[in-house]
Amino acid sequence: MIIIELKKKENYVNYVKISGHSGYKEAGSDIVCASISSIAITTVNAIIRIDNNAITYSEDDGLLEIKVLKYNDIINTLIENMLDLFECLQKDYKEYIKIR
C-alpha cells in the first residue's frame, strides 16, 4: 500500500511523505505506483522550475519526502493540485492508497 502523509502549517501543506508500493501489479506494470510517482515528480519539478529554493525533497526506492520552505499562490496551487489528484486516485484504488 502507498501511504501519503501530510503535515500542515497555518492552513498550508508544508510536508508530504509518500512511502510504499501499491501492490496493484508487479513492478514495471503497476499503474497505481506509476501514477503516484508521475504526479509527485511532475509537481516537484514544476515547483523547482518556479523557485529552486521553495522546497527540499529526498527520494529513495518507495519513498519521496517533500518539505515546503516557501509559500505563495503558485506553489500552494501546485501542492493542492497534487493532493487533489492523489485523492482522485484513492477513490478508484482505495485498497492501494491511503492518505493521512
pLDDT tens per residue across span 30-58:
999 999 999 999 999 999 999 999 999 99
- Report the share of the chain in percent with pLDDT over 70: 100
Residue type, 36: I
Please give the CATH topology (third level) of the domain spanning 2-99: Alpha-Beta Plaits (3.30.70)
Q: What is the pTM assigned to this prediction?
A: 0.93
pLDDT at 10: 87
Does residue 18 contact residue 1 with C-beta atoms inside 8 Å? no
Question: No. of H helices and E strands in the chain?
Answer: 2, 5
Q: Regarding predicted confidence, which is higher, 28 or 12?
A: 12
The domain locations on the chain are 2-99
Label each residue of 58-96 as H, E or C. Answer: EEECCEEEEEECCCCHHHHHHHHHHHHHHHHHHHHCCCC
User: What pLDDT is recorded for position 68?
Assistant: 97
| Cell of residue 36, nine digits | 503516484
